């Protein structure tokens, strides 16, 4: 297994005030899996599943070729979130009554199957959880996996910086959006955010900024990568997908930050073009992904 996603699968309802509603879509790290899938067909997920998840979304997981050895079933209804957009990209999320809390489906390190131990890349959606980071650090010690940490937005706070410095000793790549970087660094200029996060201990950084593109950086290099001019239908899941694409692009190119940034933004472009993650992944779509990635503009900042 080349890529492993550690996070929660759930069901999304997407509602736009005064506009359309789309119900019962695959959500959570389904978008991360979709982002990786454009660059690799060897991927697995670790997540708890409610009894209704596979009947609703099993066909999507099969179409994406996702291995499910790292999943287990809980005797409850799957987590189900209503994402309500009232203007722009800001949304309000609320759980559907009678469904399980997300925390019940959170995988731990011991849920990673032995079959996944030799993976190229591991994605984790995580915040300020010291015991979890201790487990990750111990697991990773003898593994080749590149670990990408997608920061949980609610934990992006300046007071968490001392703990994050320690977590970044385990993570190889930190992925976050502009709002999260602002809250964590208290800087407003993207390049100053990059310098602050690298000083905090990030070895590699993927800062995704919506329509403004993304910055892919380490101590010696920083690239600004443009976005694909998609017709925007829905923005849900773009951050997760771009992180997944970045991880796969980084690993498949032996650590090329520019190419990884291109892959991340390309993966996000496909999420923008419909509600929910794409329904299928065909050779034509794979070729289109590579075409888009090659055509994006990339500017070397330093």
Model confidence at 19: pLDDT above 90: no
Provide mean pLDDT across the span 11-16.
95
Q: pLDDT by residue (tens digit) across 253-267?
A: 999 999 999 999 999
Provide mean pLDDT across the span 14-19.
86
**Structural domain range at position 129:** 3-300
* Residue 89 pLDDT: 67
The residues, any chain, with a CB within 8 Å of residue 280's CB and separated by 6 or more, are 63
Q: pLDDT by residue (tens digit) across 159-212?
A: 999 999 999 999 999 999 999 999 999 999 999 999 999 999 999 999 999 999
* Residue 101 pLDDT: 96
* pTM score: 0.97
Q: pLDDT by residue (tens digit) across 41-71?
A: 999 999 999 999 999 999 999 999 999 999 9
Number of structural domains, the chain?
1
- Please state, in angstroms and rounded to a whole number, the distance separating the CA atoms of residues 300 and 224: 6
Provide mean pLDDT across the span 229-250.
96
Separation in Å, CA 221 to CA 73, 86, 194, 297: 44, 38, 11, 16
* Residue 32 belongs to domain with CATH number: 3.40.1190.20
Q: pLDDT by residue (tens digit) across 82-112?
A: 999 987 667 889 999 999 999 999 999 999 9
Q: pLDDT by residue (tens digit) across 126-138?
A: 999 999 999 999 9
Q: Which of 132, 126, 136 is nearest to 102 (CA)?
A: 126
Q: What percent of the chain has pLDDT over 90?
A: 96
Separation in Å, CA 204 to CA 55, 184, 282: 39, 16, 31
* Residue 174 pLDDT: 98
């Amino acid at each position: 297994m080349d890529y492993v996603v550690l996070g929660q699968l759930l069901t999304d309802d997407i509602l736009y005030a005064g506009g359309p509603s789309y119900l019962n879509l695959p959500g959570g790290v389904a978008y991360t899996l979709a982002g990786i899938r454009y660059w690799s067909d060897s991927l697995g997920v670790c997540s708890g599943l409610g009894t209704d998840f596979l009947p609703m979304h099993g066909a999507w997981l099969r179409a994406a070729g996702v291995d499910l050895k790292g999943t287990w079933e809980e005797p409850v209804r799957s987590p189900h979130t209503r994402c309500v957009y009232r203007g722009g990209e800001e949304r309000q999320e609320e759980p559907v009554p009678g469904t399980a809390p997300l925390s019940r489906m959170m995988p731990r390190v011991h849920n990673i199957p032995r079959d996944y131990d030799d993976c190229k890349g591991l994605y984790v959606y995580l915040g300020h959880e010291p015991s979890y980071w201790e487990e990750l650090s111990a697991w990773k010690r003898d593994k080749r996996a590149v670990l990408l940490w997608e920061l949980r937005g609610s934990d992006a706070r300046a007071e968490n910086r001392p703990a994050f410095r320690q977590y970044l000793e385990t993570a190889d790549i930190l992925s976050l959006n502009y709002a999260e970087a602002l809250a964590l660094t208290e800087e407003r200029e993207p390049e100053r955010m990059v310098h602050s996060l690298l000083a905090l201990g990030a070895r590699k950084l993927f800062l995704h900024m919506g329509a403004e593109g993304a910055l892919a950086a380490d101590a010696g290099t920083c690239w600004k990568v443009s976005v694909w001019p998609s017709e925007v239908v829905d923005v849900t899941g773009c951050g997760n997908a771009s992180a997944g694409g970045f991880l796969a692009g980084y690993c498949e190119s032996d650590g090329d930050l520019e190419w990884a940034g291109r892959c991340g933004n390309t993966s996000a472009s496909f999420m923008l073009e419909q509600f929910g993650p794409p329904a299928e992944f065909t050779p034509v779509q794979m070729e289109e992904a590579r075409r888009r990635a090659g055509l994006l503009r990339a500017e070397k900042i330093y």
